[in-house]
Chains A and B, each alone.
Chain A
Amino acid sequence: MDAGFLLVQSLSGLASASSLFIIASGLTLVFGVTRIVNFAHGSFYMLGAYMAVTVVPWLLEIERSPWLFFVGVLISAAVVGLLGVAMELLLLRRIYKVPELFQLLATFGVVLMVQDAVLKIWGPVDITGPRAPGLRHGVEIMGQRFPAYELFLICAGPAVLGALWLLMHRTRFGVLIRAATRDREMVGALGVNQAMLFTGTLFLGAFLAGLGGALQIPRVSASAQMDLSIITEVFVVTVIGGMGSVTGAFLAAVLIGQLQAFGVLVFPKITLVLVFLLMAVVLVVKPWGLLGKPEPAAGRATLPEGILHPRGFALPEKLLAALAVAAALAVPVFGDAYAVKVATEVLVFALAAFSLHFLVGNGGIVSFGHAAYFGLGAYASGLLVVRLGVPMEPALLVAPVAGAAFAFLFGFFVVRLSGIYLAMLTLAFAQIAYAVCFQWVEVTGGDNGLVGVWPSAWATSRHVYHYIVAAGAIAGIVALRHVIYAPFGATLRAARDSAPRADAIGIDVRTHQLLGFTMAGGAAGLAGGLYAFSKGSIDPTMLAIPMSVDFLAMILLGGIQTVMGAVVGAGAFHAIKDIFMPLTDYWRFLLGASIIALVLLFPRGLGGAFASVRARVAAEPARA
C-alpha cells in the first residue's frame, strides 16, 4: 500500500462524504425546524435520481454540454423540492403536534407509497444514467487514476456547505430557520407565519435530497432500493453530527466517508458495523451528537402516549380472552391448512407486537428496530438447526435467549437516550443486525437466507406445530402482561411519564428500562424462533425495517393506550395483509396510505376509537 493508493482511497472517501452530506444537510435542516425525522427523505433522494436519469438524457440530446447536465440535475432537484412542498402541505402540517412515533410512521407511510409509485412509473429494472460530459475522464494522482467526476463531487459538498451558510446567515429566511430551530413558538409570537417557514424548509430539504440523488447518476444506477439504503446512512450522519446542525452533518459525513474508505481495506465485510459502532460510541459520549444541542423543551407534543392505568380484565373481557384462546386452539380442528397457517402466523406476530407494545406503550421506549430481536431469535434457531444440526427443541429454547442477549447488549446504549435519538439508535442497531445477516453470506446465506429450518419429526404437521406456537405465544403474552401489572411495570410507566421525577424518588430508571428492553427482546426472539420453524427458512427480511414498521403498525392499529390492543392489532393487521396483499399489485402503496390514515384519523388506534365511541355513547344521556 503506497502513499498514492492511500490518497486515492481517502479521496474516494471524501467523494462519498460529499454526497452523503448534501443529502443529510436537508434532513437535518428539516428536523431542526419541524422536529420531524422525515423517513421519506430517502425517497426524495431516490426520486432525485429517477428524475435525473429521465431529464438529463433528454437535455443531452439537445447538446452534449456539461452545462446542460447540471441544468438537468438542478431541474430534477427543484422538482423533488416541490414534492417536498406537497408533502408538507398535505401531511406534515397535520402531524406537527402528534407524538414522534406517529410522525415516524406517517413519513414511513410515504416511503411505502413512493416505492410503489416509482415502480409503476419507471418499472422494476434499474436505470443507468448518462455520465457527465466533460467529466468522464480520469485524472492522474500520484500514479493512480482517479475519476474527474469524483473530484467534482469532492468540491460539491463544501460548495453546498458554503451556500447553506450564506443562506442561513445572510438571508431573512435563513435567520428565521435558525431561530425556529431553537424556539419555533416564539418565532410565531413575533408574527412569523410558521406555515410558510415550514413549507420553505421542506422545499429546501427535499431539494437537497433530490440534488444528492441527481448527482449520483453517473456513479450508481437508479433503483427502487435506493431509499432505504441511503436513509439509514443519512440518519447515522445526522445523529452523529447532531440533529439540526448542518456543520455537524458535514463533519460526520467526512468522518464516516473516511471510516468506510479505510475500513473496507481492513474489514471488508463489516464496514457498516464500524459505522454503527462509531454512532453508538458518539451517542454514549455526546448524547446530542458532535455539534447538536439538547432538544428545546418548548413545543414538544405532550399527548398521553401509552397505557395510562391498566385495569385488570372485567368479566366480559375475561370471556373475550378465553374465547380468543379457545378460537386459537380450535383452528386446527375446524380450519383447513391455510387457516392453520394464518392462525399460526397471527399468534407469532401477536407475541412480537405485544413485546413491542410492552416497550412502547408501557415503557415509553419507542423502538424503531424491534424486528432485530425477532430476526435474531429466528436466525439463532435457524443457524443452529441448519449449520449445527441441533434439533428443534433446544434450538427453539435458544431463540428467546438470543433475543434477550442482543436486547441487553444494544439496550445498554439505547436506554441512555430518549425521544427521537432513542428511536434512531434502535433503528441503527437493527440495521447492524440486518447488515451482518445480509453480508455474512458464508454463514447466513446472505440475501437468500437459509432453508431447511424444519421442526422435529413429531412436530412437522402444521396442526401439531400450531399448538407449539400457541403454547409459546400465549405463555409469552401472559408473562409480559403479568409484568405490566406488577410493580415493575408501574415503575416503567413512572419512568416513561417523568424520568427525572422517577430518578428523584430513587428509581434507577436506566436499569429498569434495560431490564424491560431485555424482556421484550426475549419475547420477540421467541416469536422469531417460532416463526422460523413455521416457515422452514430464515432470511434478512425478518429483521429489516419494514418488519419493524409492521410491528409498529400493529400496535398502532390496536391502540397504544390499551394493554391488549397490540394482540388485536396483530390479528387485524395480519388478516388484512393476508387478504389484500394477493389482490393488489400496490400492496405497499395501500399499506402506506393506511398507516397515514391511521395516524391522521385514529391516533389512538382501533381500541382507542372504540373506547371514545363508548365514552360518547355513555355521555349522551347525561347531556340530554
Chain B
Amino acid sequence: MSDTVLQVEQLAAGYGPAEVLFGVALVLRRGEVAALMGRNGAGKSTTLKTIMGLLPPRAGRVRLAGQDITGWAPYRIARLGLGYVPEERRIFTDLTVAENLEVGRRPAQPGREAWTPEKLFAIFPNLAEMRRRRASAMSGGEQQMLTIARTLMGNPDAVLLDEPSEGLAPVIVELMAEAVLRMKEEGIAVLLSEQNLDFAAAVADRAYVIEKGSIRFQGSMAALEADEAIRQAYLTV
C-alpha cells in the first residue's frame, strides 16, 4: 500500500518494570492528519516515543515508508523521513533560534523543495524577530513554534507531534492549528497526540482513541465527534 507512510502493528512498550502499551496498532497515510486522543497517562507520548525509537519496543513492528524500522536508532528513523516534536519541547536552551534550526537541518529528498528558515518564519512570524535570541529567553508559545520549525528543517515526510496545544494561550493554539494545516498542505503526514477535542477536530481527518495503552476507537474525526459514548468514556470533556 503505497499511500501508507507509517504503519504500527501490535506495539508494546514500557518503562522498566511498568508495561504501558499493549498492542497499539495504527496507520498514517500520505498527506493526512491523524489524531491520537486520550486522557493523561493513556499512553500517547509513550506511543510516539516508541515509534521514534526513543523507547525500545518490547513487541510489535513499526514500518516507515515500506521499511521495517523496529529497533532502529532514532537518528536513522529521522533520516528516513520521520520528524518528532516532543511534548516537553526539548529546545536547546543555550542555543539561539537560528542555531536550534541549524541542529534540525537535513537535506530535502531530491526533487522536493527544502524548508528554509525564511519559509518557516513566514509561518511563525514571531520567530523571525528573534533569530539571535537564546531559546531560554522565549515564551512557552514561542518555544513550541521553534520546536515545530526545528523538526521541519529536517524535511520530514511525516511528523509525530506530541500535544502541540498543551498549555498555550488561545491565540497561539490557533497559530498551531494553522501550522498543522500548512504541513498537510505541503504533503507532510502528521500524527498528532491531543487531549483537546476542538483542536483535533480543527485539523485532523481521522482519529484514534487510546486508553490504558490500547486503541479503543478508530474512525473519521467526524465519527468521533458524533460518538457521544466514546467521548464520555475515554476523553475528558
Contact = CB atoms under 8 A, between A and B. Distances in A.
Interface string B92-112: 111100011011101000000
Interface residues of A, number: 20
Interface in B144-187: 150-151, 154
A190 B52 contact: no
Nearest to B52: A189
Contact of B54 (A181, A185, A191, A193): A185
B202 interface: no
A182 interface: yes
A186 B151 CA distance: 11
Contact of B93 (A175, A176, A182, A302): A182
A191 B99 contact: no
B117 to A, nearest CB: 14
Contacts of B75: 188-194
B86 interface: yes
Report which residue of A182, A188, A190, A302 has the largest number of chain B beta carbons within 10 angstroms of its beta carbon. A190
Given A188-B74, A191-B75, A178 B54 contact: no
Contact of B84 (A182, A189, A298): A189
A295 B84 CA distance: 24
B137 interface: no
A191 B79 contact: yes
Interface string A463-499: 0000000000000000000000000000000000000
A178 B52 contact: no
A172 B102 contact: yes
B78 A190 contact: yes
A188 B92 CA distance: 13
Contacts of A192: 75, 103
A164 interface: no
Given A172-B102, A175-B102, A176-B103, A189 B94 contact: no
A175 B105 CA distance: 12
B78 A183 contact: no
A189 B103 contact: no
B73 interface: yes
Chain A binding site: helix, strand, loop or mixed by DSSP? helix
Contacts of B99: 175, 178-179
Contact of B103 (A175, A185, A302): A175
Contacts of B100: 179
Nearest to B150: A190
Contact of B86 (A178, A186, A194): A186
Contacts, number: 59
A298 B102 CA distance: 21
A175 B151 CA distance: 16
Nearest to B147: A186
Contacts of A194: 75
Contacts of B54: 185, 189
Contacts of A274: none
A192 B100 CA distance: 13
A176 B86 CA distance: 18
Contacts of A186: 86, 90, 92
B102 A178 contact: no
Contact of A178 (B73, B95, B150): B95
A621 to B, nearest CB: 24
B91 to A, nearest CB: 9
Contacts of A191: 75, 78-79, 104, 106, 154
Nearest to B89: A186
Given A190-B78, A191-B79, A182 B106 contact: no
B94 A183 contact: no
Contact of A179 (B74, B95, B106): B95
A178 B92 contact: yes
Contacts of B78: 188-191
Interface in B63-81: 73-75, 78-79
A69 to B, nearest CB: 37
A182 B92 contact: yes
Interface string A180-214: 01110111111111100000000000000000000
A405 to B, nearest CB: 41
B233 to A, nearest CB: 33
A296 B93 CA distance: 11
Given A176-B103, A178-B92, A188 B150 contact: no
A181 B99 CA distance: 14
Given A190-B151, A191-B154, A179 B92 contact: yes
A183 B95 contact: no
Nearest to A193: B75
Nearest to B84: A189
A582 to B, nearest CB: 47
B105 to A, nearest CB: 8
A185 B95 contact: no
Nearest to A174: B99
B102 A183 contact: no
Contacts of B90: 183, 186, 298
Contacts of A183: 90, 92
A182 B94 CA distance: 8
Nearest to B75: A188
Contacts of B104: 190-191
Given A179-B92, A192-B103, 4 more contacts: A179-B99, A181-B94, A189-B84, A190-B150
Leading 5 A-B pairs by shortest Cβ distance: A191-B78, A179-B92, A186-B90, A189-B74, A188-B74
24 contacts: A175-B95, A178-B92, A178-B94, A179-B92, A179-B99, A179-B103, A182-B92, A182-B93, A183-B90, A185-B54, A186-B86, A187-B103, A188-B73, A189-B52, A190-B104, A190-B150, A190-B151, A190-B154, A191-B79, A191-B106, A191-B154, A192-B75, A298-B90, A302-B16
